[in-house]
Amino acid sequence: MSRSTWFRRRITVDKTEPVETNQQPTHRRTIVIESYETDETFAIQAVLKDERPWADGASDVRDVHEMHLDVTVDKATLTITDAHAEMTNFPHEECRSIEPAFRALVGLSVMRGYTRNVQERLGRERGCSHMEFLARAIGPAVIQSMASSSSRRGTTVVSGPEVLNQGSWLRNTCHLWAEGGIGSAKIAEGWRPGMDGYPAASLVELRRRDKANEDLA
- Identify which of 25, 30, 32, 31 has the alpha carbon closest to the alpha carbon of residue 3: 25
Residues 74 and 116 in one domain: yes
Residues 146 and 170 in one domain: no
Domain enclosing residue 180, as ranges: 161-216
49 Cβ neighbours under 8 A, 6+ residues apart: 28, 29, 30, 31, 63, 65, 66, 67, 89
Domain membership flag for residue 16? no
CA distances from 118 to 60, 90, 128 (A): 34, 22, 12
Phi, psi dihedral angles at 42 (to 5 degrees): -110, 130
pLDDT in tens, the chain (217 residues): 444 443 445 555 455 565 566 678 999 999 999 999 999 999 999 999 999 999 999 999 999 999 999 999 999 999 999 999 999 999 999 999 999 999 999 999 998 789 999 999 999 999 999 999 999 999 999 988 988 888 788 765 455 544 445 456 677 788 998 888 998 898 888 887 767 778 889 999 999 988 888 778 6
Residues 196 and 100 in one domain: no
Q: pLDDT tens, 52-111?
A: 999 999 999 999 999 999 999 999 999 999 999 999 999 999 999 999 999 999 999 998
Q: How far apart are CA 139 and CA 176, in angstroms?
A: 18
**What count of other Cβ atoms lies within 10 Å of the Cβ of residue 145?**
23
Domain membership flag for residue 5? no
Q: How far apart are CA 167 and CA 171, in angstroms?
A: 6
Domain membership flag for residue 35? yes
Confidence (pLDDT) at 189: 86
Name the domain boundary from 152, 181, 207.
152
Q: What is the pTM of this model?
A: 0.78
Task: Provide the number of structural domains found in the chain.
Answer: 2
